[in-house]
A and B are shown apart, each in its own frame.
Chain A
Amino acid sequence: MNRIQQAFQKKGKDLLNIYFTAGYPTLDATVPLIKAISAAGADLIEIGMPFSDPLADGPVIQQSSTVALANGMNMRVLFSQLKNIRQEVAETPILLMGYLNPVMQFGVENFCREAANAGVDGVILPDLPLDDYVAEYQETFRKYNLRPVFLITPQTAPERIRRIDELTDSFLYLVSGPGTTGGQNTQAEGVQEAYFQRIEAMNLRNPRLIGFGIGDKASFQKACQHAEGAIIGSALIRALEGVEDAPAAATRFISSVLK
């Protein structure tokens, strides 16, 4: 069993996955933030690898990516920061999230090897299509024990959801509704519930986390009624904006969600 599966098995429900952008708000914030986020009670950590043109992200994560890149963040810097992370944070699953082009330029094999050496458990690349993953990436991911995480949206067809479910042993990322990260949920109440219930009724192998538009205690708890947990990103990044002590701000934010 891998660390992601262990986390889900141990807790079963109400898992909180926290996303932040590596190198934001300062270049060296990455490791202190991981420690603080884990200590504050997050069950999984998703580290954003900043990209110049993040198509699936709203303004908050776009802005944090721009700042992180200006701070000098890149793949080499990130992996050197993560070198000893498993001595600091032993059990919390760590996932890398980003876009395909920087990974391609770094080299897929290099990327997977470095990630595995650092103790990374999973990878989320929203613009890597399923077919391309299977044809060109799966073997390397398996060799280095990395789990891919795929997104599911209200428009994803059932047979495609089954296929996604077969391709990983981690969790399914349920995008809450139409929109990029950080957006507000504009759907009618029943529409979203019906979508979550439809997925729940499929009895899939993998647990589910709901993401996009989750930002506080109320939305977190609501999401937890329909899945094993939820993912918060933009709201945390907003809490880090302009603060002196980013780890302390992250701790405060996570406490406000979990209290």
Chain B
Amino acid sequence: MSTTYQQPTERGYYGQFGGAFIPEMLYPNVEELRQNYLDIMAEPAFQEEYQQLLRDYVGRPTPLFEAKRLSEKYNTRVFLKREDLCHTGAHKVNNTVGQILLAKRLGKTRIIAETGAGQHGVATATVCALMGMQCIVYMGEIDMERQKPNVYRMRLLGAEVRAAMSGSRTLKDATNEAIRDWISNPVDTHYIIGSVVGPHPYPDLVARLQAVISEEMRKQLLEKTGSELPNYVVACVGGGSNAAGAFYHFLEEPSVNLVAVEAAGHGVNSGHSAATSVLGKPGIIHGSRTLLMQDEDGQITEPYSLSAGLDYPGIGPLHAYLADSGRARFISIEDEAALRAVAELSRLEGIIPALETAHALAALGQLGAGPDDVVVVNLSGRGDKDLETYLKYADTIL
């Protein structure tokens, strides 16, 4: 079977990227998932329950909003896909709703997750509360500090938040700890990964669950612009789940420019960055062969971004393939530019974006889009969780 952008090979490869590089301890779990995910997701009963939850619980479809003042500023036609209006405040819940239904059908009773910004942790804790399942979320100690409101939200929802104390004590380390938990609990536990990363079938599974974003965009664009196809789709990339969802139904439409925005941190060459597509080389992280920030000995290097959701030293294998093949354009945005984009959207449109999302917005000026072009920015999340950071950097923002 050949790869398309939408469909990896049977062993989970997008070009040279993907696969499932996992220790034997994880093999039965991952294999069970691989053998069942497509069948379960195709079941009418699953689809019915999933669609109903997306509509009545998550609040889908999310609006596609034409941002007139932002459009005026950038002299192009900007639409915002309002994933920030999803229940829990970000796109992450599209994935957790689907995976919890999958976990139930696999007979699992205990759920684990990793989280960076805390949005995926909150989205997981939320669906676990809804389904009455035990929930344990691993979060880097540094991230627990910088995303405190989300730690409280998870606890309020009944989840146990465990601090990851190794390495840089951020998203990568939280993922390591979640994987170690899964190794230690091989029978009753399902690991809800929060992005299009990890061993096959996770990248494909999460991309399919987020694909609802671009499915809705096409219908909404047809209504609002007369064409299902925009000229640009822009999304930020940590692991790449909101971007995968926003790109998915445009992947095989060559006229649509796909723009993935990574966090440059203090600058791509500053040594404090998370711009994986620029700084990474093929390597293996969390069970996937992908672009990876590493030193010449193959040791994974610590990424940096002010935003807790983007400082991951890899990207999903689909995105590595999009970068490698040139299908998507990758742009990197520094902390400061992202902070300024927070203020801009807040002041021009009355929408306070998440710091991750602000990276996508900050790329608007670099697209080269003309006045007649239609640009969709995936507004992956809202900024409530980042207020403390925004206050701290008020000088830059205001």
Contacts and interface: CB of A to CB of B under 8 A. Distances in A.
A60 interface: no
Interface in B162-198: 166-167, 172, 176, 179-180, 183-187
A38 B300 CA distance: 33
Contacts of A24: none
A151 B24 contact: yes
A126 B186 contact: no
B21 to A, nearest CB: 5
B176 to A, nearest CB: 6
Contact of A103 (B180, B287, B298): B298
A47 B314 CA distance: 28
Interface in A132-156: 132, 150-156
Indicate the member of A55, A101, A128, A150 with the most B CB atoms within 10 Å: A55
Interface string A46-74: 00000111011011001000100100001
A178 B25 contact: yes
A102 B297 contact: yes
Chain A interface, >50% SS class: loop
Contacts of A1: none
Contacts, number: 104
A41 interface: no
Interface string B281-320: 1011111000010101111100000000000000000000
A180 interface: yes
A156 B184 contact: no
Given A75-B297, A126-B23, A100 B28 contact: no
Given A127-B23, A157-B28, A178 B183 contact: yes
28 contacts: A52-B167, A52-B299, A53-B167, A53-B176, A56-B183, A58-B180, A75-B297, A99-B284, A101-B298, A102-B297, A102-B298, A105-B281, A105-B298, A127-B287, A128-B21, A129-B20, A129-B21, A129-B22, A151-B24, A152-B24, A153-B24, A153-B28, A153-B186, A155-B29, A175-B24, A178-B186, A179-B183, A180-B180
Interface of B: 11, 19-25, 27-29, 166-167, 172, 176, 179-180, 183-187, 281, 283-287, 292, 294, 296-300
